[in-house]
Protein backbone atom coordinates (compact mmCIF):
# COMPACT_ATOMS: atom_id res chain seq x y z
CA UNK A 1 0.00 0.00 0.00
CA UNK A 2 1.52 3.35 -0.99
CA UNK A 3 1.48 6.22 1.46
CA UNK A 4 -0.30 9.30 0.17
CA UNK A 5 1.53 12.43 1.28
CA UNK A 6 -0.84 14.48 3.46
CA UNK A 7 -1.42 18.20 3.09
CA UNK A 8 1.41 20.54 4.09
CA UNK A 9 1.02 21.38 7.75
CA UNK A 10 1.29 24.88 9.20
CA UNK A 11 0.60 26.12 12.69
CA UNK A 12 0.19 29.30 14.70
CA UNK A 13 1.75 29.16 18.17
CA UNK A 14 0.29 31.58 20.70
CA UNK A 15 -1.12 31.87 24.21
CA UNK A 16 -4.03 32.52 23.97
CA UNK A 17 -4.65 31.82 20.31
CA UNK A 18 -8.26 30.68 19.89
CA UNK A 19 -9.34 34.15 18.70
CA UNK A 20 -7.03 34.03 15.68
CA UNK A 21 -8.18 34.65 12.11
CA UNK A 22 -5.03 33.12 10.63
CA UNK A 23 -6.54 29.70 9.73
CA UNK A 24 -9.32 31.51 7.84
CA UNK A 25 -6.86 33.81 6.06
CA UNK A 26 -4.40 31.08 5.08
CA UNK A 27 -7.27 28.83 4.02
CA UNK A 28 -8.43 31.50 1.55
CA UNK A 29 -4.84 32.05 0.34
CA UNK A 30 -4.42 28.32 -0.35
CA UNK A 31 -7.63 28.22 -2.39
CA UNK A 32 -6.26 30.88 -4.72
CA UNK A 33 -3.57 28.41 -5.84
CA UNK A 34 -5.47 25.13 -5.38
CA UNK A 35 -2.97 24.32 -2.65
CA UNK A 36 -4.11 21.88 -0.01
CA UNK A 37 -2.84 22.98 3.38
CA UNK A 38 -3.68 22.21 6.96
CA UNK A 39 -3.30 25.32 9.17
CA UNK A 40 -3.96 24.76 12.85
CA UNK A 41 -3.81 26.74 16.08
CA UNK A 42 -1.56 25.60 18.90
CA UNK A 43 -2.12 27.13 22.34
CA UNK A 44 1.05 26.52 24.28
CA UNK A 45 2.39 28.25 27.40
CA UNK A 46 5.89 29.76 27.59
CA UNK A 47 7.37 26.76 29.41
CA UNK A 48 6.39 24.37 26.60
CA UNK A 49 6.91 26.63 23.59
CA UNK A 50 10.41 25.54 22.58
CA UNK A 51 9.57 21.83 22.75
CA UNK A 52 6.34 22.38 20.77
CA UNK A 53 8.20 24.12 17.93
CA UNK A 54 10.90 21.47 17.71
CA UNK A 55 8.36 18.62 17.81
CA UNK A 56 6.20 20.24 15.15
CA UNK A 57 9.09 20.46 12.67
CA UNK A 58 10.57 17.07 13.54
CA UNK A 59 7.13 15.60 12.85
CA UNK A 60 7.15 17.09 9.36
CA UNK A 61 5.54 20.51 9.84
CA UNK A 62 6.13 22.87 6.89
CA UNK A 63 6.04 26.30 8.52
CA UNK A 64 4.86 28.18 11.58
CA UNK A 65 3.53 31.54 12.62
CA UNK A 66 4.16 32.84 16.10
CA UNK A 67 2.12 35.36 18.04
CA UNK A 68 2.01 36.76 21.57
CA UNK A 69 3.71 36.10 23.87
CA UNK A 70 6.18 33.90 22.00
CA UNK A 71 7.67 36.18 19.33
CA UNK A 72 10.87 36.97 21.27
CA UNK A 73 11.24 33.32 22.37
CA UNK A 74 10.87 32.17 18.76
CA UNK A 75 13.95 34.22 17.89
CA UNK A 76 15.88 32.00 20.30
CA UNK A 77 14.54 28.70 18.93
CA UNK A 78 15.43 29.10 15.25
CA UNK A 79 18.90 28.41 13.85
CA UNK A 80 19.08 31.55 11.78
CA UNK A 81 17.46 34.99 11.81
CA UNK A 82 16.74 37.31 8.90
CA UNK A 83 18.15 40.82 9.28
CA UNK A 84 14.63 42.11 10.06
CA UNK A 85 13.94 39.50 12.70
CA UNK A 86 17.29 40.20 14.28
CA UNK A 87 16.47 43.91 14.50
CA UNK A 88 13.01 43.18 15.85
CA UNK A 89 14.42 40.57 18.24
CA UNK A 90 11.15 38.83 17.46
CA UNK A 91 9.98 36.19 14.98
CA UNK A 92 6.44 35.81 13.65
CA UNK A 93 7.26 33.37 10.83
CA UNK A 94 9.37 30.21 10.94
CA UNK A 95 10.54 28.77 7.65
CA UNK A 96 11.71 25.19 7.41
CA UNK A 97 14.90 24.43 5.51
CA UNK A 98 15.04 20.98 7.04
CA UNK A 99 13.67 19.45 10.24
CA UNK A 100 16.61 20.85 12.15
CA UNK A 101 17.29 24.00 10.12
CA UNK A 102 14.73 26.66 10.96
CA UNK A 103 14.88 30.27 9.81
CA UNK A 104 13.12 33.07 11.68
CA UNK A 105 11.60 36.06 9.90
CA UNK A 106 9.44 38.96 10.99
CA UNK A 107 6.78 40.07 8.50
CA UNK A 108 4.84 42.42 10.80
CA UNK A 109 6.54 45.61 9.66
CA UNK A 110 6.28 44.81 5.96
CA UNK A 111 2.63 43.97 6.60
CA UNK A 112 1.98 47.35 8.21
CA UNK A 113 3.84 49.30 5.51
CA UNK A 114 2.11 47.39 2.70
CA UNK A 115 -1.29 48.05 4.24
CA UNK A 116 -0.57 51.75 4.69
CA UNK A 117 1.03 52.34 1.30
CA UNK A 118 -0.69 49.90 -1.05
CA UNK A 119 -4.12 49.33 0.48
CA UNK A 120 -4.79 52.69 2.09
CA UNK A 121 -2.79 54.86 -0.32
CA UNK A 122 -0.94 56.61 2.52
CA UNK A 123 2.43 58.14 1.69
CA UNK A 124 4.78 57.17 4.51
CA UNK A 125 7.73 58.63 2.64
CA UNK A 126 8.13 62.28 3.61
CA UNK A 127 5.41 62.07 6.27
CA UNK A 128 5.39 63.19 9.90
CA UNK A 129 4.89 59.93 11.72
CA UNK A 130 3.93 59.56 15.38
CA UNK A 131 4.17 56.12 16.97
CA UNK A 132 2.40 55.45 20.28
CA UNK A 133 4.01 52.75 22.42
CA UNK A 134 7.52 51.40 22.80
CA UNK A 135 7.05 47.67 23.35
CA UNK A 136 7.62 44.62 21.20
CA UNK A 137 4.96 45.65 18.69
CA UNK A 138 6.88 48.83 17.87
CA UNK A 139 10.25 47.11 17.78
CA UNK A 140 8.78 44.71 15.21
CA UNK A 141 7.68 47.39 12.75
CA UNK A 142 10.19 50.19 13.21
CA UNK A 143 12.80 49.17 10.63
CA UNK A 144 10.38 48.79 7.68
CA UNK A 145 8.71 52.10 8.63
CA UNK A 146 12.07 53.92 8.73
CA UNK A 147 13.04 52.38 5.38
CA UNK A 148 10.19 54.42 3.87
CA UNK A 149 12.06 57.56 4.93
CA UNK A 150 9.41 59.54 6.77
CA UNK A 151 10.37 63.20 7.25
CA UNK A 152 9.95 63.09 11.02
CA UNK A 153 9.41 60.20 13.42
CA UNK A 154 8.49 60.46 17.07
CA UNK A 155 7.90 57.59 19.48
CA UNK A 156 5.67 58.61 22.39
CA UNK A 157 5.27 56.28 25.32
CA UNK A 158 3.78 56.27 28.82
CA UNK A 159 7.30 55.46 30.00
CA UNK A 160 9.43 57.90 27.94
CA UNK A 161 12.71 56.13 28.84
CA UNK A 162 11.58 53.06 26.97
CA UNK A 163 10.88 55.14 23.87
CA UNK A 164 14.30 56.74 24.22
CA UNK A 165 16.00 53.36 24.32
CA UNK A 166 14.25 52.29 21.12
CA UNK A 167 15.36 55.51 19.40
CA UNK A 168 18.98 54.88 20.32
CA UNK A 169 18.75 51.31 19.12
CA UNK A 170 17.40 52.28 15.69
CA UNK A 171 19.34 55.54 15.27
CA UNK A 172 21.44 54.10 12.44
CA UNK A 173 18.27 53.73 10.34
CA UNK A 174 17.05 57.30 10.70
CA UNK A 175 16.45 60.10 13.14
CA UNK A 176 13.76 59.31 15.68
CA UNK A 177 12.76 61.37 18.72
CA UNK A 178 11.17 60.15 21.94
CA UNK A 179 8.81 61.71 24.46
CA UNK A 180 5.91 61.18 26.84
CA UNK A 181 2.32 61.67 25.60
CA UNK A 182 2.09 65.17 27.13
CA UNK A 183 5.09 66.38 25.16
CA UNK A 184 3.95 65.28 21.71
CA UNK A 185 4.12 68.11 19.18
CA UNK A 186 0.71 69.79 19.23
CA UNK A 187 0.29 70.12 15.44
CA UNK A 188 -1.52 67.62 13.22
CA UNK A 189 0.61 64.59 12.41
CA UNK A 190 0.25 62.91 9.02
CA UNK A 191 0.12 59.43 10.51
CA UNK A 192 -0.39 58.21 14.08
CA UNK A 193 0.20 54.49 14.62
CA UNK A 194 -1.16 53.15 17.89
CA UNK A 195 0.92 50.24 19.15
CA UNK A 196 0.11 50.52 22.84
CA UNK A 197 -1.71 47.80 24.67
CA UNK A 198 -4.01 50.54 26.05
CA UNK A 199 -6.58 50.09 23.29
CA UNK A 200 -7.24 46.53 24.40
CA UNK A 201 -8.44 47.93 27.73
CA UNK A 202 -10.52 50.56 25.92
CA UNK A 203 -8.02 53.22 26.97
CA UNK A 204 -6.41 55.85 24.72
CA UNK A 205 -3.19 57.78 25.40
CA UNK A 206 -3.80 61.42 26.31
CA UNK A 207 -2.27 63.39 23.43
CA UNK A 208 -2.35 67.18 23.03
CA UNK A 209 -5.62 68.28 21.37
CA UNK A 210 -4.23 69.42 18.03
CA UNK A 211 -2.02 66.39 17.33
CA UNK A 212 -4.93 65.02 15.27
CA UNK A 213 -6.26 66.93 12.26
CA UNK A 214 -8.87 66.01 9.64
CA UNK A 215 -6.25 64.38 7.38
CA UNK A 216 -4.37 62.52 10.10
CA UNK A 217 -4.35 58.80 9.35
CA UNK A 218 -4.97 57.19 12.75
CA UNK A 219 -3.94 53.56 12.44
CA UNK A 220 -4.63 51.16 15.30
CA UNK A 221 -2.47 48.05 15.10
CA UNK A 222 -5.14 46.30 17.14
CA UNK A 223 -8.18 44.91 15.34
CA UNK A 224 -11.42 43.15 15.95
CA UNK A 225 -15.04 43.60 15.06
CA UNK A 226 -16.21 47.19 14.88
CA UNK A 227 -14.24 50.30 15.71
CA UNK A 228 -11.51 50.20 18.33
CA UNK A 229 -11.33 52.72 21.19
CA UNK A 230 -8.46 54.46 19.38
CA UNK A 231 -10.50 54.75 16.16
CA UNK A 232 -13.44 56.26 18.03
CA UNK A 233 -11.09 58.63 19.81
CA UNK A 234 -9.55 59.69 16.47
CA UNK A 235 -12.97 60.31 14.96
CA UNK A 236 -14.00 62.40 17.94
CA UNK A 237 -10.86 64.47 17.40
CA UNK A 238 -11.92 65.10 13.79
CA UNK A 239 -9.82 62.54 11.91
CA UNK A 240 -11.56 61.36 8.75
CA UNK A 241 -9.13 58.47 8.46
CA UNK A 242 -9.35 56.08 11.41
CA UNK A 243 -8.11 52.58 10.48
CA UNK A 244 -7.44 49.32 12.23
CA UNK A 245 -4.97 46.53 11.72
CA UNK A 246 -7.01 44.08 9.59
CA UNK A 247 -4.92 44.95 6.56
CA UNK A 248 -1.66 44.55 8.47
CA UNK A 249 -2.85 41.14 9.63
CA UNK A 250 -3.64 39.97 6.10
CA UNK A 251 -0.49 41.47 4.57
CA UNK A 252 1.85 39.94 7.16
CA UNK A 253 0.13 36.61 6.51
CA UNK A 254 0.63 36.98 2.74
CA UNK A 255 4.35 37.58 3.34
CA UNK A 256 4.51 34.42 5.45
CA UNK A 257 2.75 32.47 2.71
CA UNK A 258 5.24 33.79 0.17
CA UNK A 259 8.18 32.74 2.34
CA UNK A 260 6.75 29.25 2.85
CA UNK A 261 5.43 28.52 -0.63
CA UNK A 262 7.12 30.93 -3.05
CA UNK A 263 3.92 32.66 -4.20
CA UNK A 264 2.28 35.78 -2.80
CA UNK A 265 -1.50 35.50 -2.50
CA UNK A 266 -3.82 38.33 -3.46
CA UNK A 267 -4.83 40.07 -0.28
CA UNK A 268 -7.76 42.21 -1.40
CA UNK A 269 -10.38 39.44 -1.66
CA UNK A 270 -9.32 38.13 1.75
CA UNK A 271 -9.48 41.56 3.33
CA UNK A 272 -12.92 42.08 1.78
CA UNK A 273 -14.06 38.74 3.20
CA UNK A 274 -12.81 39.66 6.67
CA UNK A 275 -14.50 43.02 6.63
CA UNK A 276 -17.80 41.37 5.59
CA UNK A 277 -17.70 38.91 8.49
P1 LIG B 1 3.67 44.71 22.91
O2 LIG B 1 4.51 43.55 22.53
O3 LIG B 1 2.20 44.56 22.62
O4 LIG B 1 4.19 46.00 22.40
P5 LIG B 1 4.64 45.40 25.55
O6 LIG B 1 6.05 45.19 25.20
O7 LIG B 1 4.13 44.95 26.89
O8 LIG B 1 3.66 44.71 24.52
O9 LIG B 1 4.29 46.94 25.35
C10 LIG B 1 3.04 47.46 25.62
C11 LIG B 1 3.00 48.92 25.24
O12 LIG B 1 1.71 49.46 25.57
C13 LIG B 1 4.00 49.75 25.98
O14 LIG B 1 4.38 50.83 25.18
C15 LIG B 1 3.18 50.24 27.19
O16 LIG B 1 3.66 51.42 27.80
P17 LIG B 1 4.83 51.33 28.91
O18 LIG B 1 6.12 51.10 28.17
O19 LIG B 1 4.78 52.65 29.59
O20 LIG B 1 4.46 50.19 29.81
C21 LIG B 1 1.87 50.52 26.50
N22 LIG B 1 0.70 50.53 27.39
C23 LIG B 1 0.13 49.49 28.03
N24 LIG B 1 -0.95 49.88 28.72
C25 LIG B 1 -1.06 51.23 28.54
C26 LIG B 1 -1.99 52.24 28.99
N27 LIG B 1 -3.02 51.94 29.77
N28 LIG B 1 -1.78 53.51 28.58
C29 LIG B 1 -0.75 53.81 27.77
N30 LIG B 1 0.16 52.91 27.32
C31 LIG B 1 0.00 51.65 27.69
Show Cβ contacts of residue 260 under 8 Å, excluding neighbours closer than 6 positions.
10, 62, 63, 93, 95
Q: How far apart are CA 151 and CA 125, in angstroms?
A: 7
Least confident of 118-127, 161-170, 192-201: 192-201
Q: How far apart are CA 268 and CA 86, in angstroms?
A: 30
Percent of the chain with pLDDT over 70: 98
pLDDT range class, residue 223, cuts 50, 70, 90:
confident
Residue 272 lies in a domain: no
At 212, which CATH number?
3.40.50.720
Pocket-testing residue among 67, 133, 156, ligand 1, by greatest number of atoms within 8 A of Cβ: 133
In this structure, are 76 and 179 located in the same domain?
no
Please give the pLDDT value at position 3.
54
Please give the pLDDT value at position 4.
59
Q: How far apart are CA 234 and CA 114, in angstroms?
A: 22
Give the residue-averaged pLDDT of 15-30.
Answer: 97
Q: Is the pLDDT of residue 118 over 80?
A: yes
> Average pLDDT, whole number, for the chain?
95
In this structure, are 118 and 234 located in the same domain?
yes
Residue 200 lies in a domain: yes
In this structure, are 52 and 135 located in the same domain?
no
Give the residue-averaged pLDDT of 73-88.
Answer: 97
In this structure, are 93 and 142 located in the same domain?
no
Strand order in the sheet with 8-14: 37-43, 8-14, 63-66, 93-98, 101-105, 80-81
Question: Domain range for residue 189?
Answer: 109-247
Q: How far apart are CA 74 and CA 274, in angstroms?
A: 28
Q: Is the pLDDT of residue 224 over 80?
A: no
pLDDT range class, residue 277, cuts 50, 70, 90:
confident
Q: Is the pLDDT of residue 263 over 90?
A: yes
Pocket-testing residue among 197, 199, 205, 207, ligand 1, by greatest number of atoms within 8 A of Cβ: 197
Is-contact 187 165, C-beta < 8 A? Answer: no
Show Cβ contacts of residue 45 under 8 Å, excluding neighbours closer than 6 positions.
15
Is 244 part of the annotated catalytic residue set? no
Residue 258 lies in a domain: no
Q: Is the pLDDT of residue 46 over 90?
A: yes
Is-contact 204 229, C-beta < 8 A? Answer: yes
In this structure, are 225 and 142 located in the same domain?
yes
At 15, which CATH number?
3.40.50.10860
Asked which of 87, 106, 125 is the last residue of a domain, the reply is: 106
Into how many domains does the chain fold? 2
In this structure, are 37 and 100 located in the same domain?
yes
In this structure, are 132 and 239 located in the same domain?
yes
Please give the pLDDT value at position 2.
47
CA 133 – ligand 1 centroid, Å: 6
In this structure, are 152 and 187 located in the same domain?
yes
In this structure, are 236 and 114 located in the same domain?
yes
Residue nearest to atom 12 of ligand 1 (CA): 196
Amino acid sequence: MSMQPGPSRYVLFGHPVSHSWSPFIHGLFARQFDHVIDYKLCDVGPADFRRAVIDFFVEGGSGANVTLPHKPAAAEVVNELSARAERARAVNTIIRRSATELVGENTDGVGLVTDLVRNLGVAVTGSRLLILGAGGAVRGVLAPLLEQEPREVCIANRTPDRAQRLCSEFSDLGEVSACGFDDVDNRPWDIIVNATAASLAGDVPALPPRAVGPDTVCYDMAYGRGDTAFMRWAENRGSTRPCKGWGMLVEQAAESYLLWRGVRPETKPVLDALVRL
